[in-house]
Structure 1
Amino acid sequence: MVKSLTSRQLDVVSLTPIVNLTAEAMHHDFVKVLECVEDVGFEIVAISIDNSTPNRKFVQKILCNGVVQPWVHQPLDNTRKLFIVIDMVHNFKNIYNNILNKKHFACPEFQGKDVKASFDHVEMIWKLERGKPTRMSHKLSDKVLPTPISSGTDKCEIGRWLLPREHH
């Protein structure tokens, strides 16, 4: 996908079916897309990637020669820079999905301390603050929890809302 920095233009350049995505296959397609897009008059100044394994390997091993950097020389024109932008929103989504699926998340050591997260902490905050008029976690609701926690609603009341209209 190509997105312009100066206009609202957004175009899909290539959709390629791939069974096993590798850094080498990505590099091959990357160069073909660069050539195609630059041949029609665009100047590629940045690429955006998420933190998937093939993307990480492609950037680290192939584009950056083993050491990740904020930019590399543009493969088609060594006098220009090609900036590498990490899609942080996608990374946060991956972390969130990971903690939803595994319920526990161990992060790399930070300032000499282990950093761990558990969805139990989120559920504990939800239970402590639910029903209060002001909350620190004002957007936290049972809809964002991995399994809805019972809010104390009568099961018969829930059943009433699921019946067809003629039964009310």
Structure 2
Amino acid sequence: MAENHHVKALIIGSGPAGYTAAVYTARASLSPMLVTGLEVGGQMSITTDVENYPGFADVIQGPWLMEQMHAQAEHVGTNMINDLIVDVDFTQRPFLCKGDSGDTYTADSIIISTGAQARWLGLESEQKFQGFGVSACATCDGFFYRKKEVAVVGGGNTAVEEALYLTNHATKV
């Protein structure tokens, strides 16, 4: 049965930004609710090696890092909901959000931290090699392509920016 939830602070998205917002709003006594979205932990949850996260000199695993962030947000009092927000109405107060589950959420404030999502080609080998040579983030993973030949597939500004960045690491782009 569909439920209605009302909170002072609703956070949409469960990547690093969402969990950080959850920790700070909970510590501010705003009793936050975080709606996870499709991929709990966001893109970081499918990232194998994380080398650029402050505080960790050694490589850590993305899923592990997201588990730690989730646990910390829960520990300080964030209410976690597994749902996908499919509609937001900012024309009224409190703001109204509708979840894929049929539940509705009203909130005095909303923090949208839905992140970015790579567009993949849909090849079987893409999924097989994600994190093992196939990447959607040159800034995150460019270091792993030092002195290697790489290809960038994509169109628009993002693909060009990624290709330009990779010229700092790869022998050929």
TM-score by length of 1: 0.25
Query: When you count helix as a share of all residues, which structure comes out higher?
Result: 1
Q: Relative contact order, CA 8 A, sep 6+: which one is greater? A: 2
Over alpha carbons, which structure has the higher Rg? 1
